[in-house]
């Protein structure tokens, strides 16, 4: 896959999801203004943003983009990488805005937010992506897994105070989730 195709897909996906991304960012700012100090609010909110934007990539929601991508000379894993980056960017953007608002408020958790939240939000988004190619109970299971991922990250970072363990957990989950999504897209039946 060329970098141009990758950028083209990314731009098109972000363009069609632009309202959702904008609402998510607005929501992050509002919550950062109102939320008490700590990592609970940014971690769960930004993970939720990642999950929601990931579910917005479900085939059928942007039917024409899906058909273009399916008919383009690209491999499933290449499609997976480009599509996976969309919720990751949205979740990271929401995290950055959350941290910026915290900074503007003079809250003490800015560094912790930037350290802990992006890995968790990205791991959640990538796990939720596998739900987009499934239906029914399996889809619900992957969404639950995504929420469980944010719970696991929270337990490691906030309860156990181990940022390194949280990062390692999120990297492993994200790697496995992206591989799984690529394999699923390669075998995906568009009918």
Partner 1 sequence: MRDASFANATARAGPLTLDLEAGGRVALAFSTSQEATIVALMAAGIAKATTGSVLIGDYDPRVQSVHCKRLAGFVPHEPLQLDEGEFPRYIAYRAALWNIDATAAQADARLLCERLEGMHEAFSYPLIGALVASPQLIVLDRPQPAYAVQILRAVEGRALFSTHAQPSNAAAFT
Residues that bind partner 1 (CB under 8 A): 2, 4-5, 7-9, 11-12, 15, 63-64, 67-75, 189-191
CA 128 – CA 149 distance, rounded (Å) = 10
Residue (11 or 108) nearer to partner 1, CB: 11
Three-state DSSP state, 125: helix
Residue (2 or 36) nearer to partner 1, CB: 2
C-alpha gyration radius of the chain: 16
DSSP state of 36: P
Tokens of 12: 């098109």
CB of 64 to partner 1, least distance (A): 5
Residue (70 or 180) nearer to partner 1, CB: 70
CA dihedral over 179, 181, 185, 188, signed as positive or negative: positive
Residue (108 or 190) nearer to partner 1, CB: 190
CB of 9 to partner 1, least distance (A): 7
CB of 54 to partner 1, least distance (A): 21
CB of 85 to partner 1, least distance (A): 15
CA 39 – CA 85 distance, rounded (Å) = 24
């Amino acid at each position: 896959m060329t970098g141009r195709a990758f950028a083209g897909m990314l731009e098109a996906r972000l363009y069609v999801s632009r309202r959702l991304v904008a609402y998510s960012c607005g929501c992050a700012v509002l919550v950062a203004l109102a939320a008490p100090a700590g990592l609970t609010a940014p971690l769960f909110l930004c993970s939720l943003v990642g999950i929601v934007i990931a579910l917005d990539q479900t085939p059928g929601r942007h039917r024409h983009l899906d058909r273009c991508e399916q008919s383009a000379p690209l491999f499933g894993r290449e499609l997976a990488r480009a599509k996976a980056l969309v919720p990751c960017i949205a979740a990271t953007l929401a995290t950055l805005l959350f941290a910026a608002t915290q900074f503007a408020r003079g809250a003490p958790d800015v560094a912790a937010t930037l350290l802990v939240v992006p890995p968790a939000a990205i791991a959640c988004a990538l796990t939720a992506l596998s739900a987009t190619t499934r239906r029914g109970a399996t889809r619900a299971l992957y969404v639950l897994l995504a929420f469980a991922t944010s719970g696991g990250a929270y337990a490691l970072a906030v309860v156990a105070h181990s940022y390194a363990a949280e990062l390692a957990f999120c990297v492993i989950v994200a790697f496995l989730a992206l591989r799984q999504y690529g394999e699923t897209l390669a075998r995906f039946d568009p009918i």
